[in-house]
Chains A and B, each alone.
Chain A
């Protein structure tokens, strides 16, 4: 099972956090900081698996992460998941984001947090993998966008709204 999915940038600013187990808000923030600390100090060509930290503490959990340009994608999983399988999943997630946002960059994640959550929700649900087929995921996201488009005219709001 996937326990948590975290995305943060090279400076440790969180860009997405999704916990599939309940923690208090403080603990969540602490986990993000600690995970960043653990992951960011590692060299580029060491392995992508890591034990240690609060999410791991005493259990059989592992951190599996990938570093893309300015962003770290970190999945915390238990021993029932294949390590390499999760690396593939991260790749699928990133490729999907790339297709959906057309050359995804950190800014897309910042300004479209809700979209990123939606895309993730098409892949992972309650900590388990729902779909791994990128085209299928994109089809679903597309359908949602169409629905959204068809509704936008209802709340036209050209005015300067804050």
Chain B
């Protein structure tokens, strides 16, 4: 007999639904719905008390209307009233309405909570389950406050029915996710873990989700679950397919639970106890063996269930990464799946192999499948699968197969789906750079990339090729030749013109000997593209032209003519016009020597992390690029002479960034270039320039100014320094996770900061900008270290010019040495006279202990071992606080990286958490610090909280860092 008989529904409801279904048009449907809503509203408002049945019927109608996508703004009260009915059907529909429609309407929640409280204490299992469901569905903080204490008791009580236990476990999990601070497991821990041994498989199924989540957050307290999980798994795996009766699904014993057990084990390192480990290895072997046995059923459900377990077992083997024998077997198994006729299995095999490729034991084994994977990239009909194949090729790439893989990815790009092109481009660019043995191959690859998929080549990619060409003089001639050839194509992508303009402007002389690429030919080729390009590219080309005048004096008349023509010198775009005017002037008045100095070849870019890698990471979201990979990227980048973020800023040609209208002095990256500064700089742009990301020229210019200015002694001002501004602490907080920015601004003065730190030393550049048109006189600054800070920090101030012209900006260098750990910040006092009135203000210098962090990469195992070592109470500082900003993973990561520590990926078993490690370098000692940040991202906005824990070998450090960081999120 069917469990739901079709006749006993509510007639009114059925009629209404039929009406809706018979509506011929959307308008008719809306009309019918509005009529019904009016009807229900009047019934609810009417004088006549409705009986339970009618209420139920109307609430059902509202649910139906809601499902069709219409707002329901009433009926909540009626639904709440149904909760207190003692008829099951009415209660049940009330709860249904609330779990579908109520989120956290605080007034109602109180009423709902009352009803729930009654049902929980009713001892009627059906009512209890309904109430628990409701808590789990709404899961608001008020509910957590009301019930977080009660539910663990229900969960472990001896007389609780199994079905109630199941619901209680998941209900508790939901509350733990939304309000971890309210769910205190302490005394219940061991009894909850022992639910893994429960007779009833349903209870285990529900409990394991709870235990997995709790283990991720508190691995130490829950580690006893490992041995229990292994023995439970072993019992399931070795049972005959009939042993577990109803939990056998298409001849596979308890597949869901097996998967969950294997997942739980992935929260922990391999068991230390030999017997437990032996038993587990046995289980894993049995699962791998079963995959080879003939299927017990031809149904797809049978193989599905079996393979679900197999994939989880493989994931565990990869997670342990310690049993070479099992790893190779796993890899072979996945290899078989790569050619399976089921698309799902091919997809999953490619995905699992991606993680396997990073294991040293199986990297080689994975590589043997390269042909199959390339074939998948070419022939799979499903873009999801092709995407996985591309990911795997990227993961298995190393020096030995880089050329093949890059070539295949390039050829795939020509036909790739639009949705994955940009990512493919980034990956090709990274691989080409990472494994470039000869740089001509690298240049060829990137130029091909621009040719094939120019639209998807982001700025980072073409900046990077220029950085590398500038830093490697052995490839410059080749690059010039290749780019010259590429530009001869009748239609070439604008990105190609950019690269071409930059490279020929720098290195065109290297190919000028060949009459086929004589200076004029080069110039004409570039200029033939000019009119088809956007403003930023044109700006870049203009800079290339002025560089040509220096490289090839014979092109000067031609280029001057181009610059002089109305379309340049009177261009409506201010950036283009400015460049044309300045370059024309520069070329006509500067002597050859001056020209050669100003337009000298670009200096090599300083080493930095590849910006492309960072971009890919951002694009792929959290966890996509492993820490390992980043590390490797850095290393490889170093080898390559890897260069800065963008060649654009502060470089002669790349100043194509039209949004930053810089005066010409900055365009050329050389402030000493006297003739150029004839163009009057506007005050605004000077200030802007300081805060754009640091380029290599800025520090150099700093050093320059320094020497020049040191002759001016600071004048003495007798007034005492003012007390620190009330907002100085707040201003300070802005700089905990970053080194550059605006420290202070009022109507007169803007103070910008740029700082860099190495080991226990720091250098800070302060930029004082006069926002007025009147000069500041007697401008003096002093730094003081109050109290014990004097013995902790050594701060040296270089002198600053006592006169700051209106609209001008002066720079001051501060050297900082950290002698030992410290808490307070030094005080910076600034005094000057503005129109006769003395201005006196004191700020805190943005130096905090975290600036002296050295990031430390470590494995999950090491991390938790060290974490354990720092377990004395005074070594730990913890804070639980409300989120002040949205919980954006990328923003959080950026902040944690800005802190100076290493952000350890895939270390914490819970992917939502962040863990970091670093060593604070002071002259006297080194202090190791570990950090863990646990967001409850699932909570509603406004209720989101963080738990921040710091452990450090020195107690004051953990405390201070905790204070600093708690303000950041």
Contact = CB atoms under 8 A, between A and B. Distances in A.
Nearest to A103: B2
A88 B170 contact: no
A130 interface: yes
Nearest to A135: B246
B940 interface: yes
Contact of A88 (B206, B212, B255, B312): B255
Nearest to A133: B246
A43 to B, nearest CB: 7
Interface stretch (B66-74, B454-462, B735-743): B66-74
Contact of B344 (A47, A138, A149): A47
Interface of B is mostly: helix
A128 B168 CA distance: 12
Q: How large is the interface on B (under 10, 10 to 19, 20 to 34, 35 or more residues)?
A: 35 or more
B88 A114 contact: no
Interface string B27-62: 000000000000100000000000111100100100
Interface string B147-173: 000000000000000010011001101
A88 B308 contact: yes
A79 to B, nearest CB: 7
Nearest to B172: A126
B684 interface: no
Contacts of B246: 133-136
Interface string A68-106: 000000000001101111011101100000011110000
Interface of B: 2-6, 8-17, 21, 39, 51-54, 57, 60, 63-64, 66-69, 71, 87-89, 92-93, 96, 100, 103, 126, 132-133, 136-137, 139, 163, 166-167, 170-171, 173-174, 201-202, 205-206, 209, 212, 246-247, 249, 255-257, 259, 263, 301, 304-305, 307-308, 311-312, 343-344, 346-348, 381-382, 384-385, 387, 419, 621-623, 889, 911, 938, 940
Contacts of B21: 110
B205 A113 contact: no
Contact of B126 (A22, A130, A147): A147
B88 A140 contact: no
Q: How large is the interface on A (under 10, 10 to 19, 20 to 34, 35 or more residues)?
A: 35 or more
Given A82-B312, A112-B4, 11 more contacts: A42-B382, A47-B347, A84-B305, A100-B3, A114-B96, A118-B96, A128-B209, A129-B206, A133-B202, A133-B247, A157-B11
Given A14-B69, A49-B344, A129-B256, A60 B308 contact: no
Contact of B63 (A22, A113, A132, A149): A113
Contact of B137 (A52, A87, A126): A126
B511 to A, nearest CB: 45
Interface of A: 14-18, 20-22, 25, 29, 32, 42-43, 45-52, 58-60, 79-80, 82-85, 87-89, 91-92, 99-102, 108, 110-115, 117-118, 121, 125-136, 138, 140-145, 147-149, 151-152, 154-155, 157, 160-162
B436 to A, nearest CB: 31
B67 A126 contact: no
A47 B384 contact: yes
A117 B96 contact: yes
B381 to A, nearest CB: 6
Nearest to A22: B103
A151 B90 CA distance: 10
Contacts of B69: 14, 25, 29, 32
Nearest to B623: A60
A114 B63 contact: yes
B53 A17 contact: no
A1 B822 CA distance: 44
Nearest to A18: B100
A161 B346 contact: no
Contacts of B11: 157, 160-161
B96 A126 contact: no
12 contacts: A45-B343, A47-B346, A47-B385, A84-B305, A100-B4, A128-B173, A129-B205, A131-B166, A136-B202, A144-B92, A148-B88, A155-B52
Give 6 nearest A-B pairs by CB, closest first.
Answer: A126-B136, A155-B53, A84-B308, A46-B382, A102-B2, A126-B174
A83 B305 CA distance: 10
A126 to B, nearest CB: 3
A129 B938 CA distance: 18
A101 B2 contact: yes
